[in-house]
Amino acid sequence: MFLRLVEASVRNDDTQKVEYVYGEIIIPVLENTRGCIFAGLLKNLEQPKQYISFTIWESENAASDYVESGTFEKNVDQVRPLLEDSTEWKIQLSRDNMIEYSPVSNNPVVKSYPVEEEENPITDEVSRGSSHLRIISFKVKEGARKEFSEIFNSDILPELKAVEGCKYAFLVDNSDNDGEMLSISIWDSMDHVNQYEEEGIAEEFMNMVSHTLGDLYQWKMALDNQTSSNTFTSQDIGIDKYTLITGKKFRQ
């Protein structure tokens, strides 16, 4: 299995338009694209202009064929007029040594990952009704990837899937990129997510793998325990929450 996350920021006035385009134009295209198992549009609950196209593929080759065929770029063109203008500018010298300023293209950010899971990472139930996603980014220290995966898959995942309101959960291995591992869980409601966090279950799971995380994270935790201030590092655990605006499972 192979997962693609395409992130983009949409202009305030165009959020409804992008949701319509994704549901009525992009999903039908993906449904007829070889190897695409599921497609869904996620909206960040804390940053409502931030969206993610969440697709799952039979293989990395199927995802690559989709990109190389030009279909991905055509889908991006459908929403490009709705995206926020970039705030970044490129500065360069012209041939006559004059400084030129030009805006950087605000293309969506694409992230791709192999999925560490069984044959059906998205169930039919996820595609129906309301769903919310909780995505956690871990930075695992060098040499600890296997131990992290074993603990997560053997000890955490079965318990997480049994938590009230959790529809599904799986682990994504991006360890070739600074040791990143992603935990993705899909929920009936944000009330269930909040309950899961407030009851301390999420913290218990975190403690089970904390010793496998990067040295900067270990240093941060030790420092934060000694002082009242919070320290921020490049290995901090990132937790994002999304609602599934629209989604469809295409095939087994």
Neighbours of 112 (CB within 10 A): 17
Please check whether residue 108 is in contact with residue 147, taking contact to mean a CB–CB distance below 8 angstroms. Answer: no
For residue 117, which amino acid is it?
A: E
Please check whether residue 246 is in contact with residue 28, taking contact to mean a CB–CB distance below 8 angstroms. Answer: no
Please check whether residue 50 is in contact with residue 7, taking contact to mean a CB–CB distance below 8 angstroms. Answer: yes
Query: What does the DSSP 8-state code read for residue 64?
Result: H
Please check whether residue 2 is in contact with residue 115, taking contact to mean a CB–CB distance below 8 angstroms. Answer: yes
Tokens matching residue 176: 């070739």
Closest among 106, 101, 109 to 86, alpha carbons compared = 106
What CA–CA distance (Å, rounded) separates 37 from 252? Answer: 7
Closest among 43, 36, 48, 44 to 4, alpha carbons compared = 36
For residue 78, which amino acid is it?
A: Q
Quote the pTM value. Answer: 0.74
What CA–CA distance (Å, rounded) separates 239 from 112? Answer: 18
Segment-wise mean pLDDT, segments of 10 residues, the chain, 252 residues:
87 90 95 93 89 90 94 92 62 48 55 62 59 85 89 93 90 77 87 92 89 59 45 50 88 64
What CA–CA distance (Å, rounded) separates 120 from 225? Answer: 41
| pLDDT at site 168 | 85
Closest among 157, 162, 184, 187 to 55, alpha carbons compared = 184
Please check whether residue 243 is in contact with residue 43, taking contact to mean a CB–CB distance below 8 angstroms. Answer: yes
Backbone angles phi, psi at 196, to 5 degrees: -60, -40
Q: Could you tell me which residues come within 8 angstroms of residue 131 by beta carbon, excluding any fewer than 6 positions away?
A: 167, 186, 187, 188, 243, 244, 247
Backbone angles phi, psi at 230, to 5 degrees: -100, 135
Backbone angles phi, psi at 2, to 5 degrees: -140, 135
Q: Which domains does the chain have, with CATH numbers?
A: 2-249 (3.30.70.100)
Helix H or strand E segment including 248: strand 238-249
